[in-house]
Structure 1
Amino acid sequence: MSISSSSGLDRWNFYHKDSKKMRTIFVPYKGRRLEVDIEPINYDRYEHDRLIVKKYMKDYEKPLDSTTGKLPSRSVIESKFFTKIFIIWRMILIPNVFDRNSYLLLTHIGLLIARTWLSLLVTKLDGQIMKDLMGFKIKLFLRDMVYWFLFAVPASYVNSGIKYLTKRLALNFRTNMVRYCHDLYMNSRLVYYKLQFNHNELPDYRLSYKTIDQNLTEDIRKFCDSLTSLFANVGKPAIDLVFFAIYLRDNIGTVGILAILSNYLITGMMLKRQSPNFNRLWKKKTQMEGIYYNYNLNLVNNCEEISFYKGIGFERRKVYRIFKDLADHIVVEIKERFAYQLFEDYILKFTWPAFGYIFAGLPILFEKPKSGYVPDETSNMKSFVVNKRLILSMADAGSRLMYSIKDINRLSGVTDIVFTLLVNLHQVHDSNFQYGLTNSQGNGFSSNFKINSFVSRQQLANGSIGTGTAIYSNGINGTIQNSYPGLRMERIPVIVPSPKGVNGKHLLNNLSFNIAKGQNLMILGKNGVGKTAIVRIISELWPLYSGLLSKPSSNDIYYVSQRQYFITGSLRDQIIYPLNHIQMLQKGFTDETIIGYMNEVGLGYLLERFGSLDYNPSADNSNKEDEAELKNRLIDEVVVNGKSVQVYDSNTGGSVDGKKSWFSLLSGGERQKVVFTRILFHNKPFVVMDEPTSAISYDYEDSLFEFLRKKNITLITITNRDSLMKYHDYLLELVDEDHIRFTKIDEEYLKYFESADSEVKYLEGELRKMRELRRRRDELKEKLEGYEDGRSSLKAIKSK
């Protein structure tokens, strides 16, 4: 099959530039596509950063005291906030001096200085205007007004530039943070899945995986916005204080400046003492808002099930209770803020300006005129106006610094949340992640703070590093062998991952079996015995605490989950997942290939129902898109075998009415058939399936497994249907934790399943056996009851 592209087929996914090996993607923007360069992932950087985070936890954080159950005293608690900011700054926000954010930050500081300088000039001009106005100097007054309008041009530009750079820095910081966190969160180490098993002994560093969506979106945004706003909220008044104090020293003297600054310092200490713990209040409110948000999201995701069970009353009471807790906390916060706000406004808005008027009038009231000098009232007016404005500006700058304490507390709270997110991501991303089992230091990491290259083989063999510190005595010690021509498990315990390690809950003990390629395995067992857990171990979602797992290469195995997963996209996207349309064409597949597979599994009628493979329930299919919008979603135009194929971005950003999705449009059986279409499309040598036909009729079940048999696919099937036994060679029966039977399915047993009629006869025979066993059970009960009655009568006679 020949493929060519008008705009470069390979560019849509990613391509590398020769100079910096940058990856480039195309982003739709206002009817056109922008080229965005993305640096490739440097995993060495993340390993280096993990050591930094681990060292911080080792130096600054200690586990709970085993005797008192409380946190040990810390002498460095006040510096932890600045240390966290510094770590995030150096690792993510501005990793090197020549980063583009460095230039934006320097420009931002330059504009803040320019704004203060322009404010000083405008203040002097204001005094000059007042002087010329009081002296009835019309020409000079008009000249001053011309200067005023001229100053307005750079002043407006500087003010707008500061706002622009503040938002631009916040966006750049957020981009760096999101990219960094997602590179850790979504990669081959499956952090997004394993995060639910992480555990921290320190309560401040515990992260619920249920609120990870809020941490990655809203909390990162709040952190970046708060940090960049702090530059303007603290930088501008700080610069104002320095510049205005230097200028005022010549007018009111050094003593006056020192008196003003002393007033600021004393009242600032008073405000600091009276200030509530805004950090604690804000952090707790953020956590409670996350709980409230996630529970409402749960109502949206499970609205149909709640309706079937008529659970709306229970859910309403629970929502009210969650919201009441949030509202009660907000009431407490409002009350604490009220008393502080009253005191703060009195000091900052009235006391400081009053002192400003006093110090501005001192030079005029107590200055002794020189001999022969006649005081000029207009000059005194100018001096008073300039001094008053500068002192009031200093008071305003000081008050904004005091107000920024709340901003710092807010930033401190969100910094704690973001840093907790980074700590947990690095803990799980660690190649030695132990699923919650921490080291002896209790800092949440799996290994002690030592570089592995400095650890001797004897120490690793003994399971200890350093001075007798046990690390993996009850941790992960199993062996995984890849590229094995089959599937083998030897003496493997199936354990639910937890901080207890091998002492956690055991589902199965000493699981052992071995099948070669071409030999199908069927796994039977009651619910909760551990069938799905076996698949999780094979796919390396769960740890292998001990034993040997030999399996094919990960590229040769296709896993089918018990719960079907569908994405936002077209019908084609559901079948070729996780590939996209471009990748499908690159692999040599066409729409005709997909339609053929759909016909094989009995889903050909979906094309009549939805019109084509391009149908997308998340798009507005009732109205045709306008030309501009359609062009904006056009990714590429590809020529396949001489035929032009237009490739569109099928992710429209969500459903129009919020109700249409593939999960709701397809029945349970249809969803499972779509999954079988995926299996045929990807055509992997090994397929592991968990309850793949629970919603499919028996006749279609047979045809689907016949297709898989013709494909020479090796099957590992978890099911409760005995009828599938005829398609498998070996049976793994899970009775309980210690009773596991691995047997070969012989011809004597399979003869009952040669046809549907023979299978019915077999099942009828099993029912007759069951009835006979029940009859025998009743007989034994009657005999036992008679025996007990006889013994009771004999005892009664003897007692008489």
Structure 2
Amino acid sequence: MTAAEVRHRVLQVTDARKRLLDLIQYAQRNSIGLRLHGGDISDYFKVLVRHLLRLSKSLTHPHRKRARILLFSLVTAVGTVFLTGSYYMRKTYKRLRSYSQSKPPLLRRTRSQTRLESGARIMYISEDKVSEEDQDDRSGAPVRHLDGVSSERLGRTKKIFIPKRDGDVFERDKYLFKSVETSYEPHSQLFYSKFLNQMSALIKILIPSWLDKNVALLSLQVFFLIMRTWLSLFVARLDGQIVKDVIAGRGKGFLADLACWFIIALPASYTNGAIKFLQRKLSLNFRVYLTRYIHDMYLDERLAFYKLIFDTQSDSSVIKNIDNSITNDVTKFCDAFCSVFADIAKPVIDLVFFAVYLRDNLGTFGVVGIFANYFLTGYILRKYTPPLGTLASHKSSAEGDFYNYLLNMSSNNEEIAFYQGTEVERAKVTELYSNYFDNSLQIDQSKFNYTMMEDYILKYTWSALGYVFASIPIVISTLSSKENLENSNMRDFIVNKRLMLSLADAGSRLMHSIKDISQLTGYTNRVFVLLGALHRVHFRRFNYGAFVGMEMGYGDSKDMVRGTVQRNFHGIRFENIDIIIPSRRAGRGAKLIGTLTFQIPSVIEPSSKSSSIQDFKKNFDPNVPLIDSTGASLLILGPNSCGKSSIQRIITEVWPVYNKNGLLSIPAPSNLFCVPQRPYFTRGGTFRDQIIYPMSSDEFFDRGLKDKNLARILKEVHLDYLLDREIGCSYMDAVADWKDVLSGGEKQRMNFARILFHRPRFVVLDEATNAISVDMEDYLFNLLKRYRFNFITISQRPSLIKYHDMLLEVDSSGSWQLQALGTVEAITSIDHELDNLKGKLADVVKLEEERKALRQKLEVS
């Protein structure tokens, strides 16, 4: 390129820049009356802000409205840029700080939180990762991510402390939910006392105090809603002014007003986005508060998740589909509640602002006519609104039934395949889906006539009335100049029409919210029923669904559950306890065993330690037996359905002691380990998690324990061959569906591995060896005796007598007999059992002879 061409290009750029500056000066001179020539950019902004402030304070300046619009847009833009820049600068600073450290602190985590002994929780949120080259695990296993899947080690983590929730909150809320449940009388479909009372109880959970962050979010949302209405007024006036400029042929005024239109669009768009973001953020916060509130009652030491099956007062669909209630119903309730709040708050604010402005243009008669139209429309729509709340509740219940049945099929697919039950399962799934489809279709059908009537009134009738009300100032106008009359009427008509349309839209959304509120009532009722049931079962004196006289649910349970429980005892003692199945009849229900009395060990030393002797801080050695223990053992023997497993339910306090003279004495939870009939394995957990259950992996590593300790335990129960599936101890980190990977015998031996790991003083085994070979069963019971565990075995096999010191025989009639093995009575009982076995063997000989005779007949024929 030649010098002349370069010079020509520079002149073009300079000329274009000059024309742009001239255009900016022309625009600001004609729009806000600001005249500037030259000067620095910082000085320009100072002069501009001062000029806009001066015009905004003026009451008579013609550019006052434009100055306010520009000043408001400028402040909004600067604030947005400042907040966004601060956020990204802070994020960049944290990232650079993490990179500046040569070796970040390493932390091994398998889960995202740890529960402390005080009940508080510590959550760990990862910020960045460290490569696999820096791995240095104290147990020799690969590092895992928070979700238990990734092989990368966590680098920096953010630690959040969540204090324990005050237990008195649940006790206070229990009476609040009780009063709401017993006070409502549903008469109306909308805004009836039941809905308002339920919502008032739930609000105390969603917004626990006036200083809560949700109050700030609600305040911000209301602020932006008011701001959007205020901006709508500006836009309406600006719209009318633009139309007036076009008709009058004022080109400069049109361009200036059009520039203001594009400027005011920036804060208007930001306001709309902020409202949607705050609505979603508020919904998530409400869901977090409500879910944590439910989890704190549902999953605590009072075993509410188990006792829910005995709450006969609750809606069966909520209890049967408890997983659907905790997940879907809570989410739908929070979303619907925040949506209804925004759908009601915005129209109400619009109605107030627009009505005040329109009163000056339309007069009192016009505003009264508008609101009379609203009240009449609201009455008609409310009268013909279908019961969407009830229909939504039925649909949610049907959806939960359909989902849970599919989940049950997935969990038992192998058994169904063995039974060849495809046809039966398909028929049941089809039936449940048809029920869900019918409920969904019923909602759509009920909305059809309502939607048609709603559209006719809100869209067409209101539009026609809007034109009528907007023409009022034109009809009664008495301006002197005809030209000014036409221009003024055109501007007023455009402004009034736009405001009337906005007012009609506000009223339409307010009327539409009637339908949304009706749906919200269904979600509110299901969530309230769930919380009411949790409060009942979480109550310390829960009566297990008993119905005595007129007392039910929250009634005083002293006359229903009258037994005494002594905790932190040095043994396990039953004294005059009636084993009764929990039911509505309470102590008068079905009695399995009467006045049961036994104690293990038979003699309790006062000096016996009440806490576990295992020191997790030291290297764990499973070969060291329990000290200060004689290793007493009791066998509970009896036929099926005689109440043997119910004894274990009493020990773990999942069943109550009804009779008032019954006394239950149990050790501390750390000294008691109960093994159920069906071994339990956590889903999505590692092989390590299965051995140390119910301890978490976080606690395992925090206490300084190592995988080699678990390998020694597996060797004790002859499961060490499982580790050969991977190199070294890496199998400890394998994640699988362990209930399907392990065989029946391996599952039961895993229970014994858990016993050796936790080292409790007392163990209760319920049919814990029925899937294990005889030689392995002999080895495991001798292992328990070698380590001096005190254990109770529940079984129906007399062959286990040789491993126990005492025998408790229970028959199907509920009578029982306790005897010490080795005494004359015990020997007589064993001899009697041997005689029975000999009789059965004699029958086998007879059957063999009959089989031979049948074969001979077949050969002859």
TM-score if structure 2 supplies the norm length? Answer: 0.75
| Aligned match of 1:768 | 838
Q: Judging changes above 3 Å, is the alpha-carbon distance between structure 1 residues 374 and 582 closer, same or farther for their aligned structure 2 residues? A: closer
1:581 paired with 2:666, answer no
- Decide which of 111, 115, 130 is 2:228's aligned counterpart: 115
Shift of 1:618: 7.5
The equivalences for 1:330-479 within 5 A come to 330-370=440-480, 374-438=483-547, 442=551, 444-447=553-556, 472-473=558-559, 475-479=560-564
CA contact (8 A) 1:436 1:444 kept: yes
Shift of 1:117: 0.3
| Aligned match of 1:566 | 681
Q: Distance in 2 between matches of 1:430 and 1:236?
A: 41
1:692 paired with 2:692, answer no
The secondary structure found in structure 2 opposite 1:746 is coil
1:446-499 CA-to-partner distances (Å, cap 9, x unmatched) read 32xxxxxxxxxxxxxxxxxxxxxxx544x1111222333332222211111111
1:237-291 CA-to-partner distances (Å, cap 9, x unmatched) read 1111111111111111110111111111112211111111111111111111111
Q: Distance in 2 between matches of 1:708 and 1:427?
A: 40
1:245 paired with 2:355, answer yes
Q: Judging changes above 3 Å, is the alpha-carbon distance between structure 1 residues 752 and 701 closer, same or farther for their aligned structure 2 residues? A: farther
CA contact (8 A) 1:360 1:388 kept: yes
| Aligned match of 1:457 | none
The secondary structure found in structure 1 opposite 2:511 is helix
Q: Distance in 2 between matches of 1:509 and 1:368?
A: 99
CA contact (8 A) 1:493 1:508 kept: yes
CA contact (8 A) 2:642 2:814 kept: no
Unpaired runs of at least 5, structure 2? 1-103, 130-155, 602-629, 848-861
CA contact (8 A) 1:559 1:689 kept: yes
CA contact (8 A) 1:432 1:446 kept: no
Q: Distance in 1 between matches of 2:120 and 2:792?
A: 41
1:82 paired with 2:199, answer no
Q: Judging changes above 3 Å, is the alpha-carbon distance between structure 1 residues 211 and 584 closer, same or farther for their aligned structure 2 residues? A: same
CA contact (8 A) 1:437 1:498 kept: yes
| Aligned match of 2:175 | 51
Q: Distance in 2 between matches of 1:610 and 1:692?
A: 28
Q: Distance in 2 between matches of 1:752 and 1:609?
A: 50
Q: Distance in 2 between matches of 1:562 and 1:487?
A: 20
| Aligned match of 2:6 | none
The equivalences for 1:279-298 within 5 A come to 279-298=389-408
Q: Judging changes above 3 Å, is the alpha-carbon distance between structure 1 residues 441 and 102 closer, same or farther for their aligned structure 2 residues? A: farther
- Decide which of 549, 554, 558 is 2:664's aligned counterpart: 549
Q: Distance in 1 between matches of 2:592 and 2:428?
A: 33
CA contact (8 A) 2:114 2:121 kept: no
| Aligned match of 1:486 | 571
Q: Which moved more, 1:301-310 or 1:319-328?
A: 319-328
CA contact (8 A) 1:572 1:613 kept: no
Q: Judging changes above 3 Å, is the alpha-carbon distance between structure 1 residues 331 and 207 closer, same or farther for their aligned structure 2 residues? A: closer
Q: Distance in 2 between matches of 1:383 and 1:195?
A: 65
- Decide which of 800, 810, 821 is 1:745's aligned counterpart: 821
Shift of 1:580: 2.3
Q: Distance in 1 between matches of 2:818 and 2:833?
A: 23
1:300 paired with 2:300, answer no
Q: Judging changes above 3 Å, is the alpha-carbon distance between structure 1 residues 263 and 284 closer, same or farther for their aligned structure 2 residues? A: same
1:199 paired with 2:308, answer no
Structure scoring higher RCO (CA < 8 A, sep ≥ 6) equals 1
Shift of 1:586: 4.2
CA contact (8 A) 1:16 1:24 kept: no
Q: Distance in 1 between matches of 2:388 and 2:584?
A: 34
The equivalences for 1:215-254 within 5 A come to 215-254=325-364
Shift of 1:77: 8.7
1:156-209 CA-to-partner distances (Å, cap 9, x unmatched) read 111111011101111111111011111111111111111110121xx7x55643
1:603-659 CA-to-partner distances (Å, cap 9, x unmatched) read 11101124454447885xxxxxxxxxxxxxxxxxxxxxxxxxxxxxxxxxxxxxxxx
- Decide which of 1, 19, 26 is 2:124's aligned counterpart: 26
CA contact (8 A) 1:353 1:395 kept: yes
Q: Distance in 2 between matches of 1:349 and 1:528?
A: 68
CA contact (8 A) 2:641 2:812 kept: no
1:35 paired with 2:148, answer no
The secondary structure found in structure 1 opposite 2:600 is strand
Q: Distance in 1 between matches of 2:506 and 2:353?
A: 11
| Aligned match of 1:592 | 708
- Decide which of 140, 149, 162 is 2:262's aligned counterpart: 149
Shift of 1:749: 9.5
CA contact (8 A) 1:85 1:415 kept: yes
Q: Distance in 1 between matches of 2:128 and 2:108?
A: 22
Shift of 1:585: 3.7
What is the letter of the counterpart of residue 433 of structure 1?
Answer: F
Q: Distance in 2 between matches of 1:520 and 1:611?
A: 39
CA contact (8 A) 2:591 2:814 kept: no
CA contact (8 A) 1:199 1:436 kept: yes
Q: Distance in 1 between matches of 2:272 and 2:388?
A: 30
Shift of 1:442: 4.6
CA contact (8 A) 2:214 2:285 kept: yes
Q: Distance in 2 between matches of 1:561 and 1:613?
A: 28
In percent, how many aligned pairs have the same letter?
41
The secondary structure found in structure 2 opposite 1:13 is strand
What is the letter of the counterpart of residue 698 of structure 2?
Answer: I
CA contact (8 A) 2:228 2:272 kept: yes
Q: Judging changes above 3 Å, is the alpha-carbon distance between structure 1 residues 265 and 614 closer, same or farther for their aligned structure 2 residues? A: farther
1:130-165 CA-to-partner distances (Å, cap 9, x unmatched) read 111122211111111110111011111111110111
Q: Say what the alpha-carbon RMSD is for the aligned residues.
A: 3.0
Q: Distance in 1 between matches of 2:663 and 2:532?
A: 32
Unpaired runs of at least 5, structure 1? 62-70, 448-470, 620-659, 754-758, 778-800
| Aligned match of 1:795 | none
Q: Judging changes above 3 Å, is the alpha-carbon distance between structure 1 residues 156 and 615 closer, same or farther for their aligned structure 2 residues? A: farther
- Decide which of 205, 230, 249 is 1:136's aligned counterpart: 249
CA contact (8 A) 2:723 2:731 kept: no
| Aligned match of 2:23 | none
Q: Judging changes above 3 Å, is the alpha-carbon distance between structure 1 residues 133 and 22 closer, same or farther for their aligned structure 2 residues? A: farther
Q: Distance in 1 between matches of 2:264 and 2:734?
A: 53
**Matched pairs, number:** 685
CA contact (8 A) 2:225 2:275 kept: yes
1:216-240 CA-to-partner distances (Å, cap 9, x unmatched) read 1111111111111112111111111
Q: Distance in 2 between matches of 1:15 and 1:492?
A: 35
| Aligned match of 1:455 | none
Shift of 1:75: 14
Q: Judging changes above 3 Å, is the alpha-carbon distance between structure 1 residues 775 and 724 closer, same or farther for their aligned structure 2 residues? A: closer
Q: Judging changes above 3 Å, is the alpha-carbon distance between structure 1 residues 384 and 607 closer, same or farther for their aligned structure 2 residues? A: same
The secondary structure found in structure 1 opposite 2:565 is strand
- Decide which of 700, 710, 717 is 2:793's aligned counterpart: 717
Shift of 1:521: 0.4
1:642-678 CA-to-partner distances (Å, cap 9, x unmatched) read xxxxxxxxxxxxxxxxxx5111111111111111111
- Decide which of 207, 210, 226 is 1:97's aligned counterpart: 210
Q: Distance in 2 between matches of 1:24 and 1:436?
A: 36
TM-score if structure 1 supplies the norm length? Answer: 0.81
What is the letter of the counterpart of residue 384 of structure 1?
Answer: F
